[in-house]
Amino acid sequence: MKVKIKISGKLKAFLAPVLLFIALLFGGAYFYHMIEGWEYVDALYFTVITVATVGYGDFHPTTQIGKIMTILFVFIGISLAFYFFSLLGRYILRSQLRREIQTRGDTKKGKGVIKI
């Protein structure tokens, strides 16, 4: 039995960044679990705290490869997080503008076409 899930066009823009972000978090956690020898929950905690730019300092990599991975992880993770939140902000802004235009009645014939 096949199950088809239909995703609207608006949500498709969020799907790839969200999946990449989740993969980055769990992939990073797996890496730190294997290389640094941390418990998996501690490794996931470290990845989330690092990407969120909080950096409590209670965990830190001690191996050379762990430190190098953290440098790469910070650049990629923070960039991906900013990209996702910019998409979310754009979606919210467009939704509000669309509602305002429809409320004012600016979408009637003869007044032009506005595509948001």
pTM (global) more than 0.75: no
| Angstrom distances, CA of residue 103 to CA of 4, 10, 84, 97, 109 | 35, 21, 29, 10, 15
Alpha helices in the chain (DSSP H): 9-35, 40-51, 64-104
- Rounded to an integer, the average pLDDT of 14-37 is 90
pLDDT of residue 29: 95
pLDDT of residue 41: 95
What is the rounded distance in angstroms from the CA atom of residue 6 to the CA atom of residue 51?
31
Can you read off the two tokens belonging to residue 96?
């509000």
What is the rounded distance in angstroms from the CA atom of residue 97 to the CA atom of residue 77?
30
pLDDT in tens, 71-88: 999 999 889 888 888 888
Average pLDDT, the chain: 83
Q: Which domains does the chain have, with CATH numbers?
A: 13-104 (1.10.287.70)
pLDDT of residue 38: 94
What is the rounded distance in angstroms from the CA atom of residue 38 to the CA atom of residue 78?
22
- Rounded to an integer, the average pLDDT of 42-53 is 92
